[in-house]
Structure 1
């Protein structure tokens, strides 16, 4: 599995912890920035990760900012991206199983590092269940198509 990862300054420290965690699990990743805690704009980094996932260069993406909200909204503007802001392991599991989320958003100022790493593990390990959920995820794609014309 290949992971695209990125953050703004508010999620930088969490992103660095996740990178170390991925390395320990021998999971390949690419860091799309930012590279420090100097103030930057989250849309740039949410878009970079989302575009890499959309292009098929990476299987999934992980984005971090202070709350996870702004960067997830930015990632979700890329057609085909289903980015879920998650603060607990059950939501992480369901975002994959039922929603086929292909990008995970985490808020460094919302959750602790230990919980964040557990969320990452659950999210990476869970597969999409398909079935009745396939139809629903397809309807999300239909909404994208309707408004991208």
Structure 2
């Protein structure tokens, strides 16, 4: 249990740093382009933002999958890396099909990943909501 908490905490910290750096990068990038809002610009901004935040979550779930592959007691649960990433994605999103499970001594780490995923996806949702408010304000405030 201690190892689950320790490893999970480290991966959470790394995931949060990835999210923070990604958000700062994205905000700087869209601020440079934020000169004149048109419907086409708003559409492009929304789609590209969604894809960028999805990419961040792919990277974060990939990080968890790599972690699972590095832990010998967990590694043998998966047929390969693709299956570890699949497990990570369904855990990160809290979908949790239950078709793959970790050994009892490592159950806690999957719960830690789920909490991490919920929080980071919520963070991205908040960013998208803020972006939609900004677009609405700029397109329809006249």
Normalising by the residue count of structure 1, what TM-score does the alignment of the two structures yield? 0.28
Q: Between Structure 1 and Structure 2, which shows a larger proportion of helix residues?
A: 2
Between 1 and 2, higher relative CO (CA 8 Å, sep ≥ 6) is seen in 2
**Which entry has the higher C-alpha Rg, 1 or 2?**
2
Q: Between Structure 1 and Structure 2, which shows a larger proportion of strand residues?
A: 1
Normalising by the residue count of structure 2, what TM-score does the alignment of the two structures yield? 0.29
